[in-house]
């Protein structure tokens, strides 16, 4: 079994398309998504249609909630709020229903679990190793995949109790491998497909190979201009187009 792990697609069809083309060359068996299918980007229906028909396991993200009326938009910054309202106005009914019913993480998948923010709060950002160290007792599996921060990499819980950061793919490469130690806990972020914020504008994802206890982090360049043109045509805030180039 090979799991394609996606997160934070954010209605970016161009990025998703490039990820699938690259991922299909290497092959995968099941698709897993850690939330935020929609919000920010201009293709919420195409992305939700695709996830709805192909992904085996999905948990909801804060933007999925916001775009279908499950979240108070007062918590969102003005740009996120504008995009949530626009998304709500264009989402087809079957996609609204699908997003509304998405489960809250963590959700168990085979020997790992998926979640959006943190194991204790789906809306919490896991940025610092110090914050993550307190979560060891809340992890039901040695391996968890999360999203929300849009930063590829994650955290390793060492046997000493210390938490170490794991980096994703460096700028000059397109992949980075991580071999999992069965004695250690891992919180792995595949990175964001549709709006990376780790200063690398390339679409991010990872593939998990349980048989050889291996994770392959991946990056691929995509048609950023195409995604930007659609964001501008939808009259979404221009910042949402500009930040795709910047990668943060
Ligand atoms: Zn997100």
Q: Which residues contact 56 (CB under 8 A, 6 or more apart)?
A: 30, 31, 32, 109
pLDDT of 35: 98
Taking residue 97's Cβ as centre, other Cβ atoms within 10 Å add up to 12
Q: Using CA atoms, how far apart are residues 241 and 87, in angstroms rounded to an integer?
A: 15
Ligand 1 centroid to Cα of residue 50, in Å, is 18
| Å from CA of 159 to ligand 1 middle | 31
d(CA 99, ligand 1 centre) in Å? 14
Position 131 scores a pLDDT of 85
Q: How far is the CA of 150 from the centre of ligand 1 (A)?
A: 6
pLDDT the model gives residue 159: 73
Q: Cis bond leading into 78, ω under 30°?
A: no
Cβ atoms 76, 65 nearer than 8 A: no
- Distance between Cα 39 and ligand 1 center (Å): 8
CB–CB of 98/109 below 8 Å? no
Residue pLDDT tens, the chain, 248 long: 999 999 999 999 999 999 999 999 999 999 999 999 999 999 999 999 999 999 999 999 999 999 999 988 888 899 999 999 999 999 999 999 999 999 999 999 999 999 999 999 999 999 988 888 888 888 889 999 999 999 999 999 987 778 899 999 999 999 999 999 998 999 999 999 999 999 999 999 999 999 999 999 999 999 999 999 999 999 999 999 999 999 88
CA 184 vs. chain centroid, Å, equals 23
Ligand 1 centroid from CA 160, angstroms: 32
- What pLDDT sits at residue 145? 98
DSSP β-bridge partners for residue 30: 3
Output the CA 66–ligand 1 centroid distance in Å: 11
For the chain, domains (ranges, CATH) are: 3-238 (3.60.21.10)
From ligand 1's centre to the CA of 117, what distance in Å?
Answer: 9
149 alpha carbon – ligand 1 mean position (Å): 7
Residue-level length of the chain: 248
User: How many whole angstroms separate alpha carbon 219 and alpha carbon 22?
Assistant: 9
What does the alpha-carbon distance between residue 30 and residue 194 come to, in Å, rounded to a whole number?
20
List phi, psi (to 5°) of 85.
-65, -40
Q: How far is the CA of 238 from the centre of ligand 1 (A)?
A: 18
Q: If you measure from the C-alpha of residue 205 to the centroid of ligand 1, how many angstroms do you get, rounded to a whole number?
A: 13
Give the pairing of strands 143-145 and 175-179: unpaired
61 Cα–ligand 1 center, Å: 7
In the numeric block, the tokens 């992949």 are attached to 175
Q: Does residue 93 sit in helix, strand or coil?
A: helix
Alpha carbon distance 213, 183 (integer Å) = 12
């Amino acid at each position: 079994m090979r799991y394609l792990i996606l997160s934070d697609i954010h209605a970016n069809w161009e990025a998703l398309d490039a990820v699938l083309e690259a991922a299909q060359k290497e092959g995968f068996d099941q698709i897993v998504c850690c939330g935020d299918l929609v919000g920010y980007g201009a293709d919420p229906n195409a992305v939700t249609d695709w996830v709805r028909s192909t992904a085996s396991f999905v948990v909801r993200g804060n933007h999925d909630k916001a775009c279908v009326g499950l979240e108070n938009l007062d918590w969102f910054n003005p740009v996120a709020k504008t995009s949530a309202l626009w998304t709500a106005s264009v989402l087809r009914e079957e996609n609204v229903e699908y997003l509304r019913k998405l489960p809250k993480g963590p959700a168990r998948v085979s020997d790992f679990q998926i979640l959006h923010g943190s194991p204790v709060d789906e809306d919490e950002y896991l940025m610092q190793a110090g914050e993550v160290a307190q979560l060891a007792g809340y992890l039901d599996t040695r391996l968890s995949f999360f999203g929300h921060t849009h930063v590829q990499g994650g955290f390793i819980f060492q046997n000493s109790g210390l938490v170490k950061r794991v980096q994703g793919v460096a700028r000059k490469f397109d992949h980075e491998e991580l071999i999992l130690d069965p004695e250690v806990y891992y919180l792995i972020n595949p990175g964001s497909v549709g709006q990376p914020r780790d200063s690398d504008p390339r679409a991010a994802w990872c593939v998990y190979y349980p048989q050889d206890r291996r994770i392959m982090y991946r990056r691929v360049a995509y048609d950023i201009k195409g995604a930007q043109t659609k964001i501008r045509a939808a009259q979404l805030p221009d910042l949402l187009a500009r930040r795709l180039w910047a990668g943060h």
